[in-house]
């Protein structure tokens, strides 16, 4: 990070903190002129002997730093932008002339997604969310370690206290915000965290972990993910040990004495670590048994996920905070194989993905998602000739989407709203979930079709709440949907109680978004863009319904499918 001189103070925004004085820049791209502070370190470089160790806070300083250019991204997958192992930096976006002595502004922290193997701080146009907001707020984006450098579950890494390093990076960032955001004019008591996909899973894990200390944030927006999403195995699960061994083999150190493995890993060029990570990921990607993931790390002072997330829910030991959570209609379509063309391939896919499912489980799964090959009334029939996909594609899309994202999102909503998600689906329901006062929860479904093949797939919602120019130019209807999502999201962020209806924003007369409550009060969700095909079909304008509030009702088949996944969460946790 380059140093600068006091002569720069007169023309550029500057902020003094115990970590030093930071000189930023302005941008006039949005209705509000913004001040940007880019590439501020929140931890010492995790390089050399600090590689594969928990992050270390930055020292205090009296120096002055130029933070007008983005810092390199963390080491991840293929990327044309600069990457570096020295990457634990943050970016701050605030309205022009925000003053630390004035009323403190609400703060948003964005946690990027990317399967814990990819992604970077500014993968969404967070500046747009700030710049288009009618009421002022501050937003922060940041890098955290991903891939093998951030998540390398194994017995060896457990012994070294080096599990879930990417989550520990996030935790240190949250602590940095609590210490220093007031210097930038932010309110440390009104911090919202927001993230999609792996960012959502991450936020869920932080909410689940309760050691008696207060959370370093007050509210959460959890998009297409949650703590029970996908699989969260114990650090010593055979899959993790196998992937760890294969990783070492790629680096030509499989036979190294155990005591020498980490010293060798720390001595290797980072490009070798990156190459090995990418090769292991590519090998496992077809099965979606992704390597380098968060793991249950067990009890202890360095723990982040001490118990399986489902157990934290059942024990009612998680933090109760206001939450927005939701899912996209076709969460699985981006990931599942397109070629399968018979019922056996459907079963084979889940047999490989989830080997703990029994033969009886797989048979039940087969019946819960009717096979279009044999059942003419199957909802998963699809005219596949134009796309060259097999007749199992829509079926896999739905089943995998339910497993990985939709059922976990609903699970978060049920628990966080004070409901027991097994109560109507199993006579063998656990009974140790205690009742206590719940914080408000708001559930959404994003339904704008991004393409004819993929529908409203995983990640499609990302540009909408930030009111990104990537979508606002498409059509007046798409712009309205983006504007509404922006209004709800910013109201939730700004409101101290996490109310998406409290702040008028750009749509002051918008539909009231009801809380997701108990069955007797009727559980509601808000649906954005149902039937809209303007992005997918181009000139064939199908506007659909911009926004509607509906009961989150499911038919018997979908209820049974949700119950199937909920009742088996323990099979892929811990």
Could you give the residue numbers annotated as active site?
A: 197
Contact 305, 295 (CB under 8 A): yes
Q: Which two tokens stand for residue 438?
A: 């719940």
Which two three-digit tokens encode residue 294?
């968060």
Q: Which long-range contacts (CB under 8 A, 24 or more apart) does 123-128 make?
A: 123/462, 124/196, 124/462, 124/463, 124/466, 124/468, 125/463, 125/466, 125/468, 125/469, 125/470, 126/93, 126/466, 127/27, 127/29, 127/30, 127/34, 127/36, 127/93, 128/30, 128/466, 128/467, 128/468, 128/469
Distance from C-alpha of 308 to C-alpha of 570, rounded to nearest angstrom: 8
SS3 content of the chain, % helix, strand, coil (to 5): 35, 15, 50
Give dist(CA 200, CA 176) in Å, integer.
20
CA–CA gap between residue 104 and residue 446 (Å, rounded): 32
Crossing angle of the two packed helices 165-180 and 198-208, in degrees rounded to 10:
70
Supply 78's token pair: 């293929």
- Residue pair 415/421 in contact (Cβ under 8 Å)? The answer is yes
Q: At residue 444, what are phi and psi to the nearest 5 degrees? A: -130, 160
* Per-residue tokens: 135: 């009421």
DSSP output for 385-450: TTTT--TTHHHHHHHHHIIIIIHHHHHHHHHHTT--TTTTT-TT--------PPPPEEEEEE---S
β pairing state of 105-110 and 186-196: parallel
Q: Which helix (H) or strand (E) holds 253?
A: none
Residue whose pair of structure tokens reads 């297409």 in the numeric block: 224
Strand stretches in 89-202, DSSP E: 89-95, 105-110, 138-142, 186-196
Which H or E element spans position 569?
none
- Rounded to whole angstroms, the Cα distance separating 38 from 67 reads 5
Torsion of CA 176, 179, 184, 187, to 10 degrees: 110
């Amino acid at each position: 990070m380059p140093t600068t001189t006091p002569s720069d103070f007169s023309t550029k925004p500057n902020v003094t903190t115990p970590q030093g004085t930071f000189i930023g820049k302005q941008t006039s791209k949005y209705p509000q002129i913004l001040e940007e502070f880019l590439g501020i370190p929140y931890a010492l470089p995790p390089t050399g002997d600090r590689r594969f160790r928990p992050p270390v806070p930055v020292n205090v300083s009296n120096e002055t730093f130029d933070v007008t250019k983005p810092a390199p991204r963390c080491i991840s997958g293929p990327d044309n932008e600069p990457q570096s192992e020295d990457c634990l930096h943050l970016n701050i976006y605030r309205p022009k002339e925000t003053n630390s002595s004035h009323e403190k502004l609400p703060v948003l922290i964005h946690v990027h997604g990317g399967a814990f193997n990819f992604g970077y701080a500014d993968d969404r146009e967070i500046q747009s969310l700030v710049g288009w907001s009618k009421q002022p707020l501050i937003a922060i984006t940041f890098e955290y370690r991903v891939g093998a450098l951030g998540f390398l579950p194994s017995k060896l890494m457990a012994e070294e206290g080096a599990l879930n390093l990417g989550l520990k990076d996030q935790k240190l960032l949250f602590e940095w915000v609590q210490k220093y955001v007031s210097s930038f004019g932010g309110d440390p008591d009104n911090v919202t965290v927001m993230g999609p996909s792996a960012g959502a899973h991450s936020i869920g894990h932080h909410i689940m972990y309760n050691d008696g200390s207060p959370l370093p944030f007050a509210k959460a927006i959890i998009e297409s993910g949650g703590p029970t999403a996908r699989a969260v195995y114990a650090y010593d699960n055979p899959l993790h040990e196998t992937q760890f061994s294969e990783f070492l083999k790629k680096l030509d150190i499989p036979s190294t004495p155990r005591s020498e493995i980490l010293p060798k890993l720390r001595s290797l060029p980072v490009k070798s670590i990156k190459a090995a990570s990418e090769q292991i990921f590519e090998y496992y990607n077809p099965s979606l048994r992704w390597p380098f993931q968060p793991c249950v790390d067990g009890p202890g002072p360095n723990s982040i996920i001490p118990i399986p997330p489902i157990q934290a829910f059942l024990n009612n030991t998680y933090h109760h905070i206001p939450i927005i959570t939701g899912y996209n209609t076709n969460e699985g379509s981006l990931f599942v194989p397109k070629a399968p063309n018979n019922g056996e391939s459907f079963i084979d896919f889940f047999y490989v993905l989830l080997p703990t499912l029994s033969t009886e489980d797989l048979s039940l799964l087969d019946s819960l998602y009717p096979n279009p090959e044999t059942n003419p009334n199957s909802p998963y029939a699809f005219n596949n000739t134009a796309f060259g996909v097999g007749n199992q594609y829509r079926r896999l899309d739905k089943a995998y989407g339910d497993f990985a994202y939709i059922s976990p999102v609903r699970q978060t909503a049920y628990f966080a709203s004070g409901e027991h998600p097994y109560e109507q689906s199993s006579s063998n329901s656990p009974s140790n979930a205690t009742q206590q006062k719940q914080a408000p929860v708001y559930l959404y479904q994003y339904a704008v079709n991004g393409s004819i093949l993929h529908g409203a797939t995983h990640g499609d919602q990302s540009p909408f709440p930030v009111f990104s120019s990537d979508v606002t130019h498409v059509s007046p209807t798409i712009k309205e949907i983006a504007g509404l999502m922006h209004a709800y999201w910013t109201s939730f962020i700004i409101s101290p109680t996490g109310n998406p209806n409290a702040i008028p924003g750009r749509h002051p007369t918008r539909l009231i978004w009801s809380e997701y409550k108990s069955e007797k009060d009727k559980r509601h969700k808000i649906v954005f863009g149902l039937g809209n095909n303007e992005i997918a079909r181009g000139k064939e304008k199908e506007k659909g319904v911009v926004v509607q509030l509906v009961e989150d009702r499911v038919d018997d088949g979908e209820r049974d499918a949700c119950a199937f996944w909920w009742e088996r969460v323990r099979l892929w946790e811990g």
